[in-house]
A and B are shown apart, each in its own frame.
Chain A
Amino acid sequence: MREIIRLALVLTLICAISAAALTIARNRLGPRIEKQNDFYVRGPALSRLFGQPAQELLDQKISFTVEEDVYPIFYIQEDGRITGLAVEAAGEGGYGGPVTVMIGLDLDRKEALGLEIILHNETPGLGSQIEKSGFRNQWKGLSIAEPADLRSQGGQIDAISGATYSSKAVMTGTNRIISLISHHREEILAEIRETEKEP
């Protein structure tokens, strides 16, 4: 009996110290990792969506909160009007967890400019193919007036064969963004105008 208690105690102690060390490291390094992510992943993604240099686009950002979800939203302006948004959202149901997508939106034409994958944990070689431009190009010109879907469910997007969960997760993320825009478009634009006013 004493032996079992000792076994359990030592293991628990080691795990507790490990958890503490990792939490501290996460708190200290988290912000820096976010910045690196912005520079190396979000920046180029925004650049590809809007065709403008990344540095300015990264500064034009708000964090929009609905219930408990926070959505990073980037925006571009032309002649003082907000003409485009890039919304980032996570789509649940991927093979390795949620897939974080970013969709560029043309507000005038009410269609998508493109899809970028920001973060995923899908199987290399299979689900990771959602990164391929062949798949992502399907989002160019996609109407955001109604929810999108995979062709197998009656929609227009071709999934990647062998990567059903990954494709579905991207669809879920897409529809979250479409739903966000259709319900909260004016609030988002208002919040952006507020941020722009601040010096």
Chain B
Amino acid sequence: MTTYKQVFVHGLWKDLPPFRLVLGLCPALAVTASAVNGLGMGLSVIFVLVFSNMFISMLRRIIPDKVRIASYIVVIATLVVLVEMLLKAFFFPLSQQLGIYIPLIVVNCIILGRAEAFASRNPVLLSMIDGFSVGAGFTISLTILGSLREILGAGCWFGRSIAWEGFEPFTFMVKAPGAFICLGILLGAMNLYSRKRGETFIQT
């Protein structure tokens, strides 16, 4: 039986998206050109994940098996449109920066994945904690990836310049290929660390 603590912690390392739980790679690559964008996207995903897990868990005995995917998608899409409206109303510049990647949260496989794998067969509070855990892990991953790319590629962190005289920005890092490479480096570093500690880990 999984305890509350296990559920709370699993998304933060053991099933860390997108490195261990290999889902949500598209936004992970696309919005991490700066740390604040990564953070903003991560927080939006937490919002959608917690509430989608909550609603789907609440409805888990009511939704018939044959229409479950369709139902999940309606719930998720509604939440994403809500997030989009909230962002536009309260954080307009961030919403412009994140652009189409906010509506694309609907097809972020993490959300549907957790709905199917956890929320549809677990009680409400546990599902919400799972959503928060996986979302928080995603946020941390995105913020670190974004920070790495922003510092190397633009000499800034959260918009503040941290460069010194003669620092040449490695612009490659804020473009698409740099994203792949940064992701790969972080993934390799994580795996190396886990192997050294003797952890057995799986990437799904």
Contacts and interface: CB of A to CB of B under 8 A. Distances in A.
Contacts, number: 54
Interface residues of B, number: 24
A66 interface: no
Q: Which of B59, B66, B71, B89 has the most CB of A within 10 A?
A: B89
Interface string A1-35: 00100110011001100100110011001001100
B22 interface: no
Interface stretch (B80-88, B125-133, B136-144): B80-88
Given A7-B64, A10-B64, A33 B70 contact: no
B63 interface: yes
Contacts of B67: 7, 10-11
B62 A10 contact: yes
B102 to A, nearest CB: 13
Summarize B's interface: helix, strand, loop or mixed: helix
Contact of A22 (B59, B63, B82, B92): B82
B63 to A, nearest CB: 6
B30 to A, nearest CB: 11
B74 interface: yes
Contacts of B75: 14, 18
27 contacts: A3-B64, A6-B64, A7-B64, A7-B66, A7-B67, A10-B63, A10-B64, A10-B67, A10-B71, A11-B67, A14-B63, A14-B75, A18-B75, A21-B78, A22-B81, A22-B82, A25-B81, A25-B82, A29-B86, A32-B90, A33-B89, A36-B92, A37-B88, A37-B92, A40-B92, A40-B93, A40-B96
Contacts of B96: 40
Interface of A: 3, 6-7, 10-11, 14-15, 18, 21-22, 25-26, 29, 32-33, 36-37, 39-40, 124
B143 to A, nearest CB: 24
Contacts of A124: 99-100
Interface in B42-79: 59, 62-64, 66-67, 70-71, 74-75, 77-78
Contacts of B85: 25-26, 29, 33
A33 B82 contact: no
A75 B169 CA distance: 44
A41 to B, nearest CB: 8
Given A29-B88, A37-B92, 20 more contacts: A3-B66, A6-B64, A7-B64, A7-B66, A10-B64, A11-B70, A14-B63, A14-B71, A14-B75, A18-B74, A18-B78, A21-B78, A26-B85, A29-B86, A29-B89, A32-B90, A33-B88, A33-B89, A40-B93, A124-B99
Contacts of B71: 10-11, 14
Contacts of A32: 89-90
Contacts of B90: 32
A174 to B, nearest CB: 24
Contacts of B78: 18, 21-22
Nearest to B63: A10
A124 B97 CA distance: 13
A12 to B, nearest CB: 10
Contacts of A25: 81-82, 85
A124 B30 CA distance: 13
Interface string B93-117: 1001001100000000000000000
A18 B96 CA distance: 25
A125 to B, nearest CB: 11
A126 to B, nearest CB: 13
Nearest to B88: A33
Nearest to B72: A14
A36 B64 contact: no
A72 B78 CA distance: 30
